């Protein structure tokens, strides 16, 4: 007889997975707010992480709380070798025309 864990059907869609995580937390008598208090973050931060927005510390805490391996719960955040995919941030600000037309024409002191 093998000693395998039963396979969980973790939803792949972020909204469904968030609801599934919320349900699993309720089964153990917890919720996003309680988990947020333990971590020192808001319940919204926990909710966003549960929905798939990357946050390593919160993801790990959620996985530990519900007893599911981190890589199984958020597989889209890991590559095929099991390494964490780095967060690629896009540029937040677009250069404005005013930024290129400064009051000072040269870098000399007045």
Is residue 110, in this structure, part of any structural domain at all?
no
Supply the pTM of this predicted model. Answer: 0.71
Tens digit of pLDDT for each residue in 2-14?
A: 555 556 788 989 8
Is residue 97, in this structure, part of any structural domain at all?
no
Tens digit of pLDDT for each residue in 52-71?
A: 899 999 999 999 999 999 99
CATH for 59: 1.10.260
Neighbours of 99 (CB within 10 A): 9
Q: In terms of residue numbers, what domain contains 33?
A: 14-77
Residue 84 DSSP SS3: strand
Lowest-pLDDT choice from 22-26, 48-52, 84-88: 84-88
Residue of 54, 81, 69, 49 whose CA lies nearest to 8: 69
Q: Which residue has the higher pLDDT, 52 or 33?
A: 33
Is residue 94, in this structure, part of any structural domain at all?
no
Distance CA 2, CA 64 (A): 24
Is residue 89, in this structure, part of any structural domain at all?
no
What is the number of structural domains in the chain? 1
């Amino acid at each position: 007889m093998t000693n395998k864990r039963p396979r969980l059907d973790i939803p792949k869609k972020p909204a469904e997975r968030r609801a599934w995580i919320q349900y699993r937390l309720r089964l153990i008598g917890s919720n996003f707010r309680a988990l947020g208090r333990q971590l020192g973050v808001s319940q919204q931060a926990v909710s966003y992480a549960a929905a798939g927005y990357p946050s390593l510390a919160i993801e790990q805490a959620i996985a530990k709380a519900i007893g599911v391996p981190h890589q199984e719960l958020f597989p889209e955040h890991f590559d095929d070798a099991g390494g964490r995919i780095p967060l690629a941030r896009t540029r937040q600000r677009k250069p404005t025309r005013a930024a290129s037309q400064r009051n000072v024409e040269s870098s000399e002191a007045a």
